[in-house]
Amino acid sequence: DQQVKQNSPSLSVQEGRISILNCDYTNSMFDYFLWYKKYPAEGPTFLISISSIKDKNEDGRFTVFLNKSAKHLSLHIVPSQPGDSAVYFCAAKGKAAGNKLTFGGGTRVLVKP
Amino acid sequence: NAGVTQTPKFQVLKTGQSMTLQCAQDMNHNSMYWYRQDPGMGLRLIYYSASEGTTDKGEVPNGYNVSRLNKREFSLRLESAAPSQTSVYFCASSDDPGREKLFFGSGTQLSVL
């Protein structure tokens, strides 16, 4: 049973518009959440993270929102650029020491020029 | 600035053959990890090593063994490859175990026939 789910396997958006990626989790013990970005033939790279004590974290064009009551987080990319075309993974970590990251299945984003 | 280096990049095995995937990092990180990526499944942790001399099982350890040779190197061995082990394998390292910001290698595409 997947504890972290990304229900949209793909997303297509026009350049300059907003991309919204969603992620749902089931484990209430998760206390730290991250987004990774992956280009073809490369390893994932860290994008942005958020602690469960916050509900928003912003870094340039990227903003992550956390809704703990709904066990939902989202990644907003504004404005979207063609270079943002990639697969995005959300990941979550539990509070207990030694808990490792649990990843979602990924969302492929295509930004059209 | 090599970061995390994995070898080989591609490998084809026959069922029952063995092989070792090599990983080295030059960032002086304490923690190292092996993940596998399958379509729709995200990344799943196979084994990790919190520090030199220690290794622990992750989510999907069956059929694999690991060796933390020194602080830089962490290898993954398939003793008797099975078609179910066809996947993309990523090595990662971290010096931030509380937050799990991982640095990934570029991956090994493994096919078991």
Strands A10-14 and A107-112: parallel
Q: pLDDT for B2-23, tens place per residue?
A: 799 999 999 999 999 999 999 9
Q: Do B99 and A101 touch (CB under 8 A)?
A: no
Residue B1, pLDDT score? 64
Which one of B1, B37, B88 would you mutate to disrupt binding with A, by most A Cβ within 10 Å of its Cβ?
B37
Pick from B40, B50, B104: which is nearest to A44 by CB?
A: B104
Pick from B50, B100, B103: which is nearest to A101 by CB?
A: B100
Q: Do A100 and B92 touch (CB under 8 A)?
A: no
Handedness of CA B35, A104, B4, B56 (dihedral sign): negative
> SS3 letters for B35-73?
EEEECCCEEEEEEEECCCCCCEECCCCCCEEEEECCCCE
Q: pLDDT for A60-97, tens place per residue?
A: 999 999 999 999 999 999 999 999 999 999 999 987 75
CA of A8 vs chain B CAs: smallest distance (Å): 10
Q: pLDDT for B47-104, tens place per residue?
A: 999 888 899 999 999 999 999 989 999 999 999 999 999 999 999 999 876 667 899 9
Q: Which residue of B has its CA nearest to A30?
A: B99
8 A C-beta contact, residue A112 and residue A15: yes
* Residue with tokens 């398939």, as numbered in its chain: B78
